[in-house]
Amino acid sequence: MEPVRNPNQLGAKIEQVHQLISRKWVSLIIHTLMSEPKRFSEIHSYIPDLSKRVLNERVKDLEQEGIVLRNVIPSRPVRTEYSLTRKGVELGRALQALEDWAEKWN
C-alpha cells in the first residue's frame, strides 16, 4: 500500500525541481552530459550560444544540487571533467521523456 503523501509537501518538491530545470540552459547541460563526462570546453562547444560565464554558474548550481560531479584529473596539464551523478542521470532520463514528448507534439 502506498503511503499517503501530503499534497503541500509534494507540491513544494515539484516546484523546487521546476525552478531548477526551468533555468535557461540547465536541461541542455544535463542532456549534453548524459552520454559521457565532458570537459568545460566540450560542454560549451555543444551549446555555443551559452556564454562561458553562465555555463560556469549553471555547472556550479548543478554541483550544489548534487546533479553534476566535478572531477579534477591530476595529469599534465590538469584536466577537469564534469559528469552526472546518479541523481543527475535519473533527472536526465526524466528530461529525455519530455524531449520525446516535445519531438512528437511540437
Whether the per-residue pLDDT at 2 is higher than 80: the answer is no
Of all residues in the chain, the percent with pLDDT exceeding 90 is 75
Continuous segment of H or E residues that includes residue 15? helix 7-21
Q: Would you say residue 100 has pLDDT above 90?
A: yes
pLDDT at 1 > cutoff 60: no
Could you tell me the residue ranges of all domains in the chain? 24-105
User: Measured on CA atoms in the order 34, 89, 68, 20, is the torsion positive or negative?
Assistant: positive
List the CATH code of the domain at 24-105: 1.10.10.10
Q: What is the mean pLDDT of the chain?
A: 92
